[in-house]
Structure 1
Amino acid sequence: MTTIVARAVARSSTGRPRTLVTAAVAVLSLVLTVAGPLVAPHSLASPVTAPFAAPSADAPLGGDQLGRDVLSRLLHGGTLLVVGALLVAAVVTAAATLIGCFAVLRPVLGRAVERCADVAILLPPLLGIMLIALAWPGGGRWAVIAAAVVLGIPYAVRVVAAAAAPLTTAGYIEAAVTRGESTAYIALRELLPNLRSTVLTLFGLRFVEAVYVISMAGFLQIGPQPPASDWSLMVRENASGILLNPWAVVAPSLAIAAVAITVNLATRALAPETTQKAVTRS
């Protein structure tokens, strides 16, 4: 037993610096993305090179299809994407956590939520985005964000409910029910604290999904429209000149992947080691 505890503590002590580094990298990438417009060397609309010009001193990543600085547009293009993805991830995770916790405590509600989720999951994401974007007055980025929230909640609810269901038979839940505690109290004070790992991991996955959905919509020009600076729009607009200046396409693609991956890794690293804690307590 002592050996098991010692090994668990050793893993925790060696893993903490790695966790902090991962979280710091994720925060740094988000800060750089949001603060990018402040350090952009050129304006968004002014051409500085020939169309699809190679990298130079004035344009380190070359020019786009209109000769605009790729680096400047790259620094401007991620702010709204990251803010939108964070908003989607936060709303979906919060809503799914609350619905999932209440659903496992109230069987009638749980069955209704499960049936609704089964139907909603069958809807293809792209079709759902197009339907909501077309129905939304004026369309635009808010329509895409709304679509991402609506399409993300059903799956997230199933994840939370699956993680919370085994906890409903735990002794502390049964004790709370015996004391006559309300469903809201049991869900928020008893279940939720024991779902931290699931909630953090779910937030990371929903952020990645939101980046994917918003980027896909931007690539299809559902949401941001030219001449707006957006990473997904940059990929679409410059695809024809990828052989002349690959950075016009590769740079925004790498930026999308880097932001999504670092945030997902950070949330996984920050998630509590529930299995390790259980071993330590035993």
Structure 2
Amino acid sequence: MNSSRPVRPVSSLPWFQALLAWLTWLLLCVVAALSSGAQAQGLPVQTHAQLQATLQQWLAARDADTATAQGMADAQKWQNPQDASPQVEVIMGELDPRLKLAPCSRIKPYLPRGANLWGRSRVGLRCEEGARWNVFWPVTVKVWAPALVVARTVPAGTVLEATDLTVARVDLAGGGSPAQRDLTEVVGRTLVRTLTQGAEVREADLKVRRWFSAGEPVRLIVKGSGFQAAASGTALGHGDEGRCARVRMDTGRILCAQPVGDGLAELTL
């Protein structure tokens, strides 16, 4: 005897009802998100022009401080202080135009840790009253001041003479190496690469000076807080400018000091 079992509709099964409920909830979430996004587009935003005005005002005060400090240092090296006065030029980049920021009642510009207003850099802008956001505005800072340039094209390997050099205003912040401004620090140095006429002379363009060689006597100046002392020793390695040189003192102690002149090294405690 065959018995037939009633067939339940698919829509009445528990798992199907749960799936249908979940799909309905998901659809409602998508609609709500699209609706809130459309409404958000109508909200007021902090315009980039407002941010730029705040940043420009902040940079103007910093530029004045930079120019004053640099000008006072330059006046000691140049006969006419007016010739040494640097000109600071700030070129502002742009934020991503797609960036939308909520309105802010108080915006604070600041320098991020490790950043300087020199060459390619960036300035932070943080909202401190109202919305909570923080952005970084790219800037390029140029500092125009007199420095040494070559008067003609000078090939690599040339030992520079005074006649090879002249003075022109250059961007001190434009290279990864300091521009040379003291004639006495350049004459007699050897170029490591060819410089075309008018190119500024930077520290990286010059062969490192060797102030003493291994085995030669060295006079060591030891500096500390409120004191300075002199001692003598023997170089255990070559004394190249900008590199630590090991010096054995007459007492037998070995120290690492910075070569600063012919047979001279300094150690700051």
Q: TM-score, normalised by structure 1?
A: 0.21
Structure with bigger gyration radius: 2
Higher strand content, 1 or 2:
2
Higher relative contact order (CA 8 A, sep 6+): 1
